[in-house]
Amino acid sequence: MEYLTIGNNKVSRLGFGCMRLPEKNGSIDYEESLKMAEYALENGINYFDTAYIYNSGESEEFVRQALNKFGRDKIFVADKLPMFYVNDEADFQKYLDEQLERLGTDYIDYYLFHCLNPSFFNIMKKFDYKGFIKKNKDAGKIKYIGFSFHAEAASFKEIIDDYDWDFCQIQFNYLDTDYQAGLEGYEYATKRNIPVIVMGPIRGGTLAKMPAPTKKLFKGTSLEKLTPAEIALKYVADYPNIKVILSGMSSIEEMKSNITLFNQELINTLTTEEKQKYIKAKESFFGYNLINCTECDYCKNECPSNIPISEIFSRYNSDLASPNFEHSEWYNDLDEKATSCIECGACETSCPQHLNIVERLKTVDEYFSDQ
């Protein structure tokens, strides 16, 4: 396992993203998830990333159980302040203290302001976020402070320049080099000597469903025998200032595959030819007009009609790349599909990708209804 440094800690290059944990009867399957945690620790993963809203609020409880079972000193915990719920200055402290209680710990190793965009950043400045950071760093409740980002590169630079951040977290993969912070943001943070953590390296699973014509582009290179997910991870791992690459693993099988990859040397290992293949793969993917959904399910938590939005989009993307009657059959048998949408817009407000979900649902419904 590769280890790089953030602050005084040697963190595993592969991070356990605790947002897609296995479930049973609508809740986290704690027995299976803790087996994953044990396997992760036994194989060198020491960075666990959670958030207030992951797994409908259960993810922090899972991390608490992992800390209790395997030892607080074995795990670096990353958690996030839910900016979407902050209404006044006191909320900063309220949520941090609640999260510490949920986690059953006195401190959080890596604390982030969650899902920053210009609106949330204005709220932070209004409520003296710097004073909040100082107070809680001095008290030992926060070891290192950063933010996760979902907006345009210009506002990323504004946020980076406003404080002496310990790290930042961006969405980055070979499709999203020009999206949100993207490559421009990575390079700017690197210039400022700010470590980068990456989320969405496989774009919520989208890049694991590589169409056959796209996969053929890698023939004749060292990437040819890798799975589509491994190809995506290897691209991100080539960048030296990306200290942790988060993978929202849902099974030990996925974890084993990722660990095998990260047990190799990865930084600066791609050839010029291979980098060109990624550019062609990006062009190929965009030719399918896929919906840029990372399946985070933030929208699902807000939808009053209980439409399984991310799964609908996932099936649509898969069908575009490889038409399959089972996808349309699944869609048409749904109790709540696109036609159940009341166009309230709550899903769009919560979407980190800023998707026009209401209109895209109509597109999907028309697509599957015509099959």
Pull the structure tokens for residue 72.
């607080």
What's at 66, amino acid-wise? A
| Crossing angle between the packed helical segments 90-103 and 129-138, to the nearest 10 degrees | 40
- Alpha helix stretches (DSSP H) within 196-308: 212-215, 228-237, 252-262, 272-286, 298-302
Checking if the pLDDT of 205 tops 80, the result is yes
- The residues facing 9 across adjacent strands are 6
User: Cα–Cα distances in Å, from 99 out to 18, 81, 166, 366?
Assistant: 15, 8, 20, 43
Structure-model confidence comparison of residues 309 and 169, the more confident one: 169
User: Average pLDDT for residues 320-340, to the nearest whole number?
Assistant: 77
- C-alpha span between 277 and 304 (Å, rounded): 43
Q: Please, what is the end-to-end C-alpha distance for the chain in angstroms?
A: 47
User: Average pLDDT for residues 96-124, to the nearest whole number?
Assistant: 97
Delimit the CATH 3.20.20.100 region(s) of the chain. 3-286
- Exposed/middle/buried for residue 215 (C-beta within 10 Å: 0-12, 13-18, 19+): middle
User: Cα–Cα distances in Å, from 94 out to 15, 85, 107, 216?
Assistant: 27, 11, 14, 52
User: Average pLDDT for residues 163-169, to the nearest whole number?
Assistant: 98
In this prediction, residue 321 carries a pLDDT of 62
Pull the structure tokens for residue 46.
């020491």
What CATH architecture is 3-286?
A: Alpha-Beta Barrel (3.20)
Whole-number average pLDDT of the chain: 92
In this prediction, residue 288 carries a pLDDT of 67
User: Average pLDDT for residues 80-107, to the nearest whole number?
Assistant: 97
- C-alpha span between 300 and 339 (Å, rounded): 16
- C-alpha span between 61 and 52 (Å, rounded): 10
In this prediction, residue 370 carries a pLDDT of 67
Checking if the pLDDT of 120 tops 90, the result is yes
CB 168 within 8 A of CB 194: yes
Q: Is the pTM of this model over 0.75?
A: yes
The residue among 73, 74, 79 whose CA lies nearest residue 59 is: 79
The residue among 237, 238, 239 whose CA lies nearest residue 247 is: 237
- C-alpha span between 11 and 104 (Å, rounded): 21
- CA within 13 Å, CB half, 104: 13
User: Average pLDDT for residues 82-88, to the nearest whole number?
Assistant: 95
pLDDT band at 322 (very low <50, low <70, confident <90, very high): low
Checking if the pLDDT of 315 tops 90, the result is no
In this prediction, residue 244 carries a pLDDT of 98
